[in-house]
Structure 1
Amino acid sequence: MEIRQGAYLITDNKDRIDIDFVVSSLQTTYWATNRQREIIIDSIDNSIFISLFKGTEQIGFSRIVTDKVTFAWIADVFIDERYRETGLGKWLVQSTTDHPSIKNVLLQLLKTRDAHGLYEQSGFTRDECLTKRNK
């Protein structure tokens, strides 16, 4: 998948990802602060992921965990701070939910602490999510 919009590119091409950018960015988020580099890399390797670029610089990321039929979990969505409030986050979320592997999946889920408005623009609702954590 490749979608262009002016100087910006959204792609799921594994050869394009800047893994150092993704790891360092995720480790600054409230949800992945304590994730080790190896765990982040393994989670990416076992997911569909989307990278957002301005020219050759990666500035955003999201990933999808899915069976491609009944369930898709959207995770680790972020935009570099310099590019927030520009509409790129909305574009990244919409491109993620429209990814060919999941656009017809029956249930798309995600969890957020502070970006409900962004996700509601893409059709998500504020339903309660149950979680179980393994140690």
Structure 2
Amino acid sequence: MRPHVVCLPDGSVISDERGRLDMGFVLAALAETYWACDRPRALTERSWANCLCFGVYAPGGAQIGCARLLTDCTLRAHLGDLVIAARARGRGLGRALVETILAHPELATVSHWTLRTADAHGLYRRYGFRQDGSDPGWMTLDRSAATANL
């Protein structure tokens, strides 16, 4: 898979280039979240090693955001660990990251998307995710109609 890079109007960059990820940033950012604060470092490193990972980079190159996608790159994808550094929030980078992931050319046939969130339902609803079942944190996106002819 060739690296997918998106340049944003403010000079920030979103990339799935694994070698560019700063795992120190990823680990520190996740340590401040409600969902991964107690996750052992080894588990985070192993999960990121086995997923399609995205980094958000400031114009100077420092990493300011990340997300990982557990996927077969064909039918299913689960979005997780999406974080924008506190110093970079409020600039639309979370929206840009979700948009970049959903538009990734290697994921065009993925029809079933899932994620869990306790506090970002509004962000994901913009892109068609809906709460699913009795678990209010579980959200799904069905793009089977959009991918039927691919």
Q: What is the TM-score when the length of structure 1 is the normalising length?
A: 0.90
Normalized per residue, the structure richer in helix is 2
What is the identity, as a one-letter code, of the residue corresponding to 2:102?
T
Which has more radius of gyration?
2
Structure 1 runs of 4+ aligned residues shifted over 3 Å read: none
Task: Count matched residues.
Answer: 131
What is the alpha-carbon distance in structure 1 between the residues aligned to residue 76 and residue 35 of structure 2?
Answer: 21
Shift of 1:104: 2.2
* Cross-structure match for 2:114: 109
Point out where structure 1 has 5 or more consecutive residues left out of the alignment.
131-135
How far residue 129 of structure 1 moved from its aligned partner, in angstroms, is: 7.0
- Is 1:124 equivalent to 2:129 in the alignment? yes
1:52 aligns with 2:48: no
How far off is 1:27 after superposition?
1.2
Distance between the aligned counterparts of 1:116 and 1:62, measured in 2?
16
The offset of 1:100, in angstroms, is: 2.3
State the superposition RMSD in angstroms.
1.6
Counterpart selection for 2:47 from 37, 43, 51: 43
Q: Distance in 2 between matches of 1:11 and 1:35?
A: 25
Name the amino acid aligned to 2:54: I
**Deviation of residue 23 (structure 1)?**
0.5
Secondary structure of 1:126's counterpart equals strand
In the TM superposition, residue 101 of structure 1 has moved relative to its aligned partner by 2.6
